[in-house]
Amino acid sequence: MKLKGWKEITPGAVILEAGSSAEFKTGSWRAYKPVWIKENCIQCLFCWLYCPDMAIKVKDGKREEFDYDYCKGCGICALECPGKKGKKAIVMEEEGN
């Protein structure tokens, strides 16, 4: 994406379109990545509830893969995940490994 020059931007940094935050892929900030272990998941949707962004995709009442475009890797989902029989369904892994 070509960055705008100072003559092309709106005064006072006003954003004139609604919903433009979807264009800002904050997933690039991530240092740790949540990994979903499907066999340990009880579909409680705690991860979806606690996610401060909207990085847990849900379809027909069931969670699906993470939306890594927006997941900043805060780790709240992994902390809250009750897992199954003591085994977490979300674990954090360092990016780049």
Partner 1 sequence: MSNIYAVTGNEAVANALRQINPDVCAAYPITPQTDLMQRFASFVSDGLVDTEMILVESEHSAMSACVGASAAGGRAVTATSGPGLALMWEILFVASGMRLPILMPVVNRSLSAPLNIHGDHSDAMGARDSGWVQLWSENAQEAYDNTVQALLIAEHMDIRLPIMVCLDGFIISHSIERVEYLDDDIVKNFVGTYKPQNPLLDIQHPKSIGPLILPDLYTEYKRTQHEAMSKVKNIVLKTADDFAKISGRKYSLFETYRLDDAEIGIVILNSAAGTTKDVIDIYREKGIKVGLLKPRLFRPFPYEEIRETLQHLKALCVLDRCDSFGAFGPLYTEIASSLYLSENKPIMINKIYGLGGRDYMPEHAKIVIEELIEIANTGKVKLFKDYLGVRE
Using the contact rule CB under 8 A, the part of the chain among 13-21, 58-66, 73-81, 89-97 near partner 1 is: 13-21
Phi, psi of 28 (to 5 degrees): -70, -15
CB closer to partner 1 out of 15 and 96:
15
Using the contact rule CB under 8 A, the part of the chain among 17-25, 46-54, 63-71, 88-96 near partner 1 is: 17-25
Tell which residue, 89, 88, 55, has the closest CA to residue 73.
55
Residue 97 binds partner 1 (CB under 8 A) = no
CA distance 84 to 77: 15
Residue 2 binds partner 1 (CB under 8 A) = no
Contact 14, 47 (CB under 8 A): no
